[in-house]
């Protein structure tokens, strides 16, 4: 089978993080789409399990068509793919949370999320919702991004239920599936030292120079890294 045939059979699913949407992947998706079929579903943010169910169903549908799936998660998306990715061919974590068995997003965040990022997250008066402070989020999430990208993202931020941080991942998919961690070297939200430890834990690690929003600040590097992983996947006979 030629490389073009392999590329044609591999499909990439890009899972966005909390507070944002599939629009975050626009430039990365455009680059990847020259070689691969790329999906970027919008998470509903009803619960972790609801988000995971949406991704799980997409992976199952693509598998039923004989596709080979690279499942990529950014930030909170790492929780989602850990919950949903047991049938993907390969998992990829981009500046993402990597839960151990039984951990919640709050557990993982307590280990790796910076004070700068924590200060950018604002609880509603009733404590049921968390949103981003548009000004404080710049230092945490976008400090290497162009002002136009910051403005684009800030106008599209979405709140998330606080309860989403309390849901556990009992059996993370990375325990059963091959996985790679892409470290964002300039990240000021999720500590790069934590990210490198995750890469060592997985036994496979790549680096990009971007901040937490590396899909903007290092879009070509991120797309190149993802494409490289996708090209190495084994396609079923």
Summarised one tens digit per residue, pLDDT across range 33-73 is 999 999 999 999 999 999 999 999 999 999 999 999 999 99
* pLDDT beyond 60 at 235: no
Q: What is the CATH number of the domain that holds 150?
A: 3.40.50.1820
- Structural domain containing residue 172: 3-232
How many Å apart are CA 205 and CA 96, to the nearest integer?
Answer: 13
For the segment 200-219, the average pLDDT, to the nearest whole number, is 98
Confidence band, pLDDT 50/70/90 cuts, at residue 81:
very high
Query: What's the confidence (pLDDT) of residue 7?
Result: 58
* pLDDT beyond 90 at 2: no
Helix (H, G, I), strand (E, B) or coil at 46: coil
Domain-embedded: residue 158: yes
Report the phi/psi class of residue 172: left, alpha or beta, with left for phi > 0 and alpha for psi in -120 to 50: beta
How many Å apart are CA 15 and CA 137, to the nearest integer?
Answer: 20
Domain-embedded: residue 237: no
Average of per-residue pLDDT values in the chain: 95
Domain-embedded: residue 167: yes
pTM: 0.95
Domain-embedded: residue 219: yes
150-154 — which CB contacts under 8 Å span 24+ positions?
152/23, 153/20, 153/24, 153/213, 153/216
- Provide the number of structural domains found in the chain: 1
- DSSP one-letter code for 190: B
* pLDDT beyond 80 at 8: no
């Amino acid at each position: 089978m030629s490389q073009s045939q392999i590329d044609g059979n591999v499909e990439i699913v890009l899972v966005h993080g909390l507070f944002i949407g599939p629009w975050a992947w626009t430039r990365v998706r455009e680059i990847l789409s020259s070689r691969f079929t790329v999906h970027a579903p919008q998470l509903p943010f009803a619960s972790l399990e609801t988000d995971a169910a949406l991704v799980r169903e997409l992976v199952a549908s693509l598998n039923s068509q004989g596709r080979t799936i690279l499942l990529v998660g950014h930030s909170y998306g790492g929780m989602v793919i850990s919950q949903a990715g047991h049938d993907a061919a390969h998992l990829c974590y981009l500046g993402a949370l990597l839960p151990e068995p039984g951990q919640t997003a709050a557990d993982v965040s307590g280990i790796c999320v910076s004070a700068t990022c924590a200060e950018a997250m604002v609880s509603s008066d009733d404590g049921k919702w968390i949103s981003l402070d548009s000004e404080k989020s710049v230092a945490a999430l976008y400090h290497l991004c162009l002002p136009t990208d910051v403005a684009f993202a800030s106008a599209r931020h979405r709140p998330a239920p606080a309860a989403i941080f309390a849901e556990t991942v009992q059996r993370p998919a990375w325990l059963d599936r091959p996985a790679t961690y892409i470290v964002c070297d300039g990240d000021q939200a999720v500590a790069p030292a934590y990210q490198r430890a995750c890469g060592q834990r997985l036994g496979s690690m790549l680096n990009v120079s971007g901040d937490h929003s590396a899909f903007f600040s290092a879009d070509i590097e991120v797309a190149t890294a993802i494409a490289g992983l996708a090209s190495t996947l084994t396609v079923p006979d």
